[in-house]
Amino acid sequence: MKLQLRLAKENIFLSHLEFMRAITRALRRAGLPLQYTGGFHPRVKVSMGPALAVGKKSDSQYVKIFFTESIAPEEVMERLNKDFPEGIKVLEIKEI
């Protein structure tokens, strides 16, 4: 199962890598059935659009998340908004 999230980035002091790290940490904290890459150092399977410059706000950062089993998009949105740090928020979610 794949979900596409539209996120708002209001914290202007996060770089692209810090933003990605915050997303993957929140995904793991939320206890979602995430799909991981293979190999010796498995990582959460996440795909993100182009990087946003440091110092910019955005309300349309798109992220694709891969799951091992189906889960309700509303539940994912609720769990992630609870676990995201201040300045990151899920605005919209849809199944791909």
* SS (HEC) of the chain: CEEEEEEEECCCCCCHHHHHHHHHHHHHHCCCCECECCCCCCCECEEECCCCCCCCCEEEEEEEEEECCCCCHHHHHHHHHHHCCCCEEEEEEEEC
Give the pLDDT of residue 43.
93
pLDDT tens-digit readout, 39-78: 899 999 999 988 888 888 998 999 999 999 999 999 999 9
pLDDT tens-digit readout, 14-50: 888 999 999 999 999 999 999 999 989 999 999 998 8
Give the pLDDT of residue 76.
93
Q: Where do the structural domains in the chain lie, given as residue ranges?
A: 2-95
Give the pLDDT of residue 35.
95
pTM: 0.85
The CATH number given to 2-95 is 3.30.70.580
